[in-house]
Homo-oligomer: A and B are copies of this chain.
Amino acid sequence: MKRTLGVCYYPEHWLETQWADDAARMIEAGLTWVRIGEFAWQRIEPSRGQFAWDWLDRAVQTLGAAGLKIIMGTPTATPPRWLVDEMPDMLPVDTDGRVRKFGSRRHYDFSHQGYRTECRRIAGAMGERYGKNPHIAAWQIDNEYDCHDTTLSYSEAARAGFQDWCAQRYQSTDALNRAWGNVFWSMDYDRFDQIELPNLTVTEPNPAHVLAFRRYASDQVVAFNRIQADVLRKYTDAPLVHNYMGRITTFDHWAVGADLDIASWDSYPIGFLSDRIEGTPAEKQRFLRQGHPDNQAFHHDLYRAVGKGRMWVMEQQPGPVNWAPYNPAPLPGMARLWAWEAFAHGAETVCYFRWRQAPFAQEQMHAGLLRPDSADAPALAEARQVATELLDLPDVEAAASPVALIFDYESAWAWDTQPQGADFDMFRLAFAAYRALRRAGLSIDILPPDVSDLGGYKLVLAPGLMRLSDPVRAALSTFEGTALIGPRTDTKTDELSIPTPMGPNLPDVDITAALTESIPPTDEIALQDGGRFLHWFEHLEGKAEVFRRTQAGFPAIMGNVHLRYLGGWPDDETFDQIIRALCDEAGITTHDLPDGLRVRDTGTHRFVFNYAPEPLTWRGATIPPAGVHWEPLG
């Protein structure tokens, strides 16, 4: 499949007289797609039932006539004022019990049944009007679920919904009390309507209570999305997509993705480096204008799997954004590099956000492909270059990766709930493992926690899974490659308690994590032959072979030839040692890459990206900063 570019556009922001010229310039720049509509509810329905389709009809016609394919967004992330006036209890409530008011976006509660009905209504109305329109080639549902921490709401609607969810899951309060261990502090319930949301308790609430609420909240996102997906499918055969964000773990993207055709995401490499990626100040400074060299790759690989193979970038940062603590400009070339990195990971389409920088409102300092005065912004030329390069380059199909990493949202909720050490975070751990793989020059697949087939992989990592699912456990029992499991994997029950026998429960491997320690930043667990664990250390016991020990003589890695359990959180250097040693064992070729160079193989080509601010060398070729190099796979 040929890869394509696109852009996000808001016809309602501009004079209608400008639309045709904008469309022509998009085509001229080589863009294929234009996304519209996702914040326009008020302009589509200025008051209840009074639809103003005319302008949107003309916008669709103008863009489509210019040759653009349209992604139509449902506008449910921005319910209009009149709707909030009708049902003010649709507003979400924060963890401190404060209502989160109208005046920006995402001001709705996923649990609110009335709002769900409204979303079915507006999505249905749009589907009915545009479902068969030949210019509409895809549909986006809502926008960036959980952005601004909106998955979790502590409203009355959420409380009632959670109580009902508990009743359905546990059937009796006796069962719930037993499952949660409510005997612990006389926390037993007699009736489901006594169960409150787990905020504002005197000290920490029961972790099983919190995990239940996190599951409930994720289920509401899935249900909310499904309602729109269901109603749209009545009217259209075009693919349905949602645009996920980066490092959001509050809902189960695998479950949302199951109801959609394509997974897209919004890639803001510089903003994300600044506001949601761990790193030393020196690392953050080194990649300040490029973004973290592995963060885009991780999310591409994750969402390619969430999308069952179909992945887009729906919003690609083109210049400075407005929302990070600091917003520097990308290094020249990065708007091109980021697009190529996406394609190399299997993206079908990369849409820049946005066409013209808005001169007003919240994002007026967010760059676009055009300046507010319609002059070219720097990224437009880079987009045009990518469009030209795409004409020549063979299709960039995703390659079969020798290596996989299992990623699980439920585990993120579990460790949020019970981190045990202040810096223990599921994404951070999984990303640490992923980064080590990528520093070794590997191309990686990310797999869901219920994957049942590990065939084809030589190396599989499963860090931090609170429990191994039955399919994974079964797949591991016959796995012919090498699996590196842990730390903290398979050490909890489904209700976030400690199982007996204690975990991990690996097929044919006798290991028990007898005691666990969280380690402050001042401390480390030194390993024999160099290396160290940070953050986390498990005292492993059992009859399994010890592959590596701490300097104090405790097991650090135990297992057998196929299954290894990692009893701590290695620092980067140690993770590199471990991964390279396992790759050597598994017959996987690794690369020694200078700091900032990254490699990604596709079906036919090897791509090399230079994220460093200085030129780097790949097999004799000098790649400038922000440079992209590709060569046929041989």
Interface residues of A (CB under 8 A from B): 12-13, 39-43, 46-47, 75, 78-82, 85, 92, 96-107, 147-148, 150, 180-190, 194, 196, 198-209, 274, 281, 284-285, 288, 319-320, 322-323, 325-329, 357-365, 367, 371-373, 375, 377-378, 418, 420-422, 495, 497-502, 512, 514-520, 522-523, 539
Contact = CB atoms under 8 A, between A and B. Distances in A.
Given A194-B85, A326-B421, A502-B372, A186 B75 contact: yes
* Pairs of residues from A and B, 3 with the lowest C-beta to C-beta distance, nearest first: A181-B360, A184-B361, A42-B186
A598 to B, nearest CB: 22
Contact of A182 (B358, B361, B498, B522): B361
A363 B515 contact: no
A90 to B, nearest CB: 12
Nearest to A552: B332
A530 to B, nearest CB: 21
A184 B502 CA distance: 54
A97 to B, nearest CB: 6
B104 A203 contact: yes
Given A203-B362, A326-B421, 7 more contacts: A39-B186, A78-B185, A104-B187, A104-B203, A328-B518, A328-B519, A372-B498
Contacts of A323: 204
A326 B43 contact: no
B361 A498 contact: no
B207 A362 contact: yes
Contacts of A199: 101
Given A101-B199, A326-B519, A360 B184 contact: yes
A46 B180 CA distance: 17
Contacts of A320: 515-518
A422 B275 CA distance: 12
A586 B498 CA distance: 58
B274 A520 contact: yes
B373 A500 contact: yes
A120 to B, nearest CB: 18
B201 A107 contact: yes
Given A200-B98, A420-B327, A288 B189 contact: no
A142 to B, nearest CB: 13
Contacts of A520: 274, 284-285, 288, 325-326, 328
B285 A81 contact: no
A491 to B, nearest CB: 10
B325 A201 contact: no
B185 A365 contact: no
Given A85-B194, A186-B41, A498-B372, A201 B80 contact: no
A21 B198 CA distance: 36
Contacts of A519: 326, 328
Contacts of A497: 359-361, 364
B186 A40 contact: yes
B515 A319 contact: yes
Given A188-B81, A201-B107, A320-B517, A285 B522 contact: yes
Contacts of A378: 515
Contacts of A371: 502, 514-515
A205 B104 contact: yes
B500 A372 contact: yes
A501 B371 CA distance: 11
B201 A100 contact: yes
A194 B97 contact: no
A196 to B, nearest CB: 6
A184 B358 contact: yes
B203 A148 contact: yes
A185 B108 CA distance: 14
Contacts of A148: 202-203
A434 B371 CA distance: 33
Contacts of A515: 319-320, 329, 367, 371, 377-378
11 contacts: A46-B190, A100-B201, A100-B202, A101-B196, A101-B199, A101-B201, A104-B202, A106-B202, A107-B202, A359-B498, A365-B418
Given A85-B194, A200-B99, A359-B497, A185 B502 contact: no
Contact of A198 (B12, B103, B180, B499): B103
A280 to B, nearest CB: 10
Nearest to A94: B200
Most chain B beta carbons < 10 A, residue from A186, A362, A495: A186
Contacts of A194: 81, 85
Contacts of A514: 371, 375, 377
A188 B327 contact: no
Contacts of A361: 180-185, 187, 206-208, 497
Contacts of A181: 13, 358-361, 364
A183 B82 CA distance: 14
A482 to B, nearest CB: 29
A105 B358 contact: no
Contacts of A326: 421-422, 518-520, 523
Given A515-B319, A515-B320, A517-B320, A102 B196 contact: yes
Contacts of A42: 183, 186-188
A123 B203 CA distance: 24
Contacts of A288: 520, 522-523
Nearest to A375: B514
A277 to B, nearest CB: 14
B180 A103 contact: no
Given A105-B202, A373-B502, A362 B522 contact: no
Given A107-B201, A517-B328, A82 B190 contact: yes
